[in-house]
Amino acid sequence: MSNSKTPLPGNAVIGQSGGPTAVINQSLVGVVEGLHAAPGFTGKILGARHAIDGMMAGDFLDLTDWQQDRLDRLAGTPSSGLGSSRHKPSADDVKRITKYLEEHDIRYFFYIGGNDSSDTCRIVAETAAADGYEMHAFHVPKTVDNDLVLNDHTPGFGSAAKFVAQAIMGDDLDNRSLKGVKIDVIMGRHAGFLTAASVLGRRAGTDDGPHLVYVPEAAFDVVKFTQDVERTMDRFGRCLIAVSEGIHDADGTPMAAKLAEMQGHHVEKDAHGNIQLSGTGALGDFLAQAVKDYMGHKTRVRADTFGYLQRSFAGVASEVDQQEARLAGRKAAELATSGIQHGSVAIQRVPGDTYGVEYNRIELTDVAAKTKHLPAEWIVNANDIGQGFVDYALPLVGELPVVERL
């Protein structure tokens, strides 16, 4: 690894990949600010429109001369300002990308995204290196799923968790007011962190909901589920349930896939082989029907699927998450311009009584295509979340609304 202290001549490109978050533009602006602050960096700062798609088409937006007020407004805007992509580049695609990068004299490549994105970043970096083209490539973490290894947590999670916590606090008050069974389906394909965030506004030792929480880390069984609901109804006269879109049975088959098959639907998959989970109310409606079938049609049963609001709602973000996303972007720019060739920025918590984090470089290969899961000790009886998670997650979310329950 070369470690020249003078930045390379040439330009920088930034891409935003995968699902949007409330703070992915903070990271974009953080990279821009980090490049402006880098001694000796005098190149252009380009944004690739729709990530890898823009890089394959030479579709770039020049961000070099953006003033601070516009950058600040962009940073506070949810979703990926440059546009995103779920395209998984083929070997030929990567060759086209590196051709464009060389043509535009791109010497710094920043890619903001999840573990699929860090893998794309690695492939582009390796292809450029094999070409003998010197380019520094950095991945900036982002995912509401919070499932990147070696990271204490990821930018985007805190804000999505805040949305979920506030939504569930409100829905618990709604369910108190008009009693019955309420099922809320929350994002999370393999990791239950976001669904676990449903408990963050719950007062311990009270009848506050959610009363049942199901995450992908524990096998899901419909019969046990309906029994859990019945027991909760007997106890509280109401039942608020938070359930991950990614729940699966003991064989590992996602409920969403089983369901689509049962209903004779086409199962839609993305370029990475993931089946469609979000953007449909089918899982919630299926679970509601299962409860009605078991408990009788007199029981009031409702299901909501929080959907894309969790990642893109305008006006609800965690301040800690916003700051960390910005600093993760700046750190990537600092590392890349200080001569380090590639890596991913990991947010790692500093042990101690007060909350604090460090931004450390890890290898791209360490984060690519791996998934972090909710620790088993935070899952209670396969249908609830314990205090360990609350202690972990509250500092990431910040203050929640104060409500008065009668």
From 145, 208, 228, 384, the catalytic residue? 145
With contact defined as beta carbons under 8 Å apart, do 135 and 128 qualify? yes
Q: What tokens were used for 21?
A: 């978050």
Residue written as token pair 């007062």: 203
Please select the residue that binds its own copies; options are 95, 99, 302, 349, rule is CB under 8 A.
302
Residue 346 main-chain phi, psi, to 5 deg: -110, 135
314 or 350, CB closer to its own copies? 314
Please select the residue that binds its own copies; options are 33, 93, 171, 321, rule is CB under 8 A.
171
Nearest to 17 by CA among 66, 85, 78: 85
Known catalytic residue at 145: yes
Nearest to 115 by CA among 93, 141, 79, 85: 141
For residues 324 and 27, what is the distance between their CA atoms, to the nearest angstrom? 8
Contact between 170 and its own copies per CB under 8 A: yes
69 or 251, CB closer to its own copies? 69
Contact between 57 and its own copies per CB under 8 A: no
Residue written as token pair 């970043």: 121
Contact between 340 and its own copies per CB under 8 A: no
For residues 288 and 197, what is the distance between their CA atoms, to the nearest angstrom? 22
Encoded one letter per residue, x for contact with its own copies by CB under 8 A and - for no contact, window 78-97 reads xxxxxxxxx-----------
For residues 198 and 193, what is the distance between their CA atoms, to the nearest angstrom? 9
Please select the residue that binds its own copies; options are 129, 149, 150, 309, rule is CB under 8 A.
309
Q: For residue 9, say if its preceding peptide bond is cis, omega within 30 degrees of 0.
A: no
Candidates 91-99, 227-235, 299-307, 383-391; binding stretch for its own copies (CB under 8 A): 299-307
Encoded one letter per residue, x for contact with its own copies by CB under 8 A and - for no contact, window 257-286 reads ---------x-x---------xxxxx-xx-
Residue written as token pair 């990068």: 101
Q: Which residues are catalytic?
A: 145
Query: Which chain residues interact with its own copies by CB under 8 A?
Result: 16, 19-20, 47, 50, 61, 70, 73-74, 76-86, 166-167, 169-171, 173-174, 176-179, 182, 201, 266, 268, 278-282, 284-285, 288, 297, 301-309, 311-316, 400-406
